[in-house]
Amino acid sequence: MAALSTYLGHAHVSDTYWYLQATPKLLGDIATAAEAGHRCDR
Protein backbone atom coordinates (compact mmCIF):
# COMPACT_ATOMS: atom_id res chain seq x y z
CA MET A 1 0.00 0.00 0.00
CA ALA A 2 2.84 2.38 0.85
CA ALA A 3 4.52 1.71 -2.50
CA LEU A 4 1.27 2.38 -4.37
CA SER A 5 0.69 5.56 -2.37
CA THR A 6 4.19 6.79 -3.24
CA TYR A 7 3.79 5.79 -6.89
CA LEU A 8 0.54 7.76 -7.12
CA GLY A 9 2.15 10.75 -5.41
CA HIS A 10 -0.14 10.75 -2.38
CA ALA A 11 1.13 12.42 0.77
CA HIS A 12 -0.59 9.90 3.04
CA VAL A 13 -1.40 6.20 2.66
CA SER A 14 -4.94 6.97 3.81
CA ASP A 15 -5.40 9.02 0.62
CA THR A 16 -4.74 5.88 -1.45
CA TYR A 17 -7.00 3.56 0.54
CA TRP A 18 -10.14 4.92 -1.09
CA TYR A 19 -8.97 3.95 -4.56
CA LEU A 20 -9.00 0.25 -3.69
CA GLN A 21 -11.87 -2.13 -3.22
CA ALA A 22 -11.14 -5.69 -2.17
CA THR A 23 -12.97 -7.78 -4.74
CA PRO A 24 -12.10 -11.41 -5.42
CA LYS A 25 -10.78 -10.51 -8.91
CA LEU A 26 -8.65 -7.65 -7.60
CA LEU A 27 -7.19 -9.78 -4.83
CA GLY A 28 -6.44 -12.55 -7.32
CA ASP A 29 -4.71 -10.10 -9.67
CA ILE A 30 -2.64 -8.74 -6.79
CA ALA A 31 -1.61 -12.24 -5.72
CA THR A 32 -0.63 -13.15 -9.29
CA ALA A 33 1.43 -9.98 -9.68
CA ALA A 34 3.13 -10.49 -6.32
CA GLU A 35 4.01 -14.08 -7.19
CA ALA A 36 5.42 -13.00 -10.57
CA GLY A 37 7.48 -10.28 -8.90
CA HIS A 38 8.74 -12.72 -6.32
CA ARG A 39 9.88 -15.15 -9.04
CA CYS A 40 11.77 -12.34 -10.82
CA ASP A 41 13.61 -11.35 -7.61
CA ARG A 42 15.30 -14.73 -7.28
> Looking at residue 38, what is its pLDDT?
74
> Looking at residue 4, what is its pLDDT?
83
> Looking at residue 42, what is its pLDDT?
54
pLDDT tens for the chain, 42 residues long, are 788 888 889 888 888 877 776 778 888 898 899 888 877 755
Distance between CA atoms of 5 and 16, rounded to whole angstroms? 6
> Looking at residue 32, what is its pLDDT?
92
> Looking at residue 27, what is its pLDDT?
81
Distance between CA atoms of 28 and 42, rounded to whole angstroms? 22
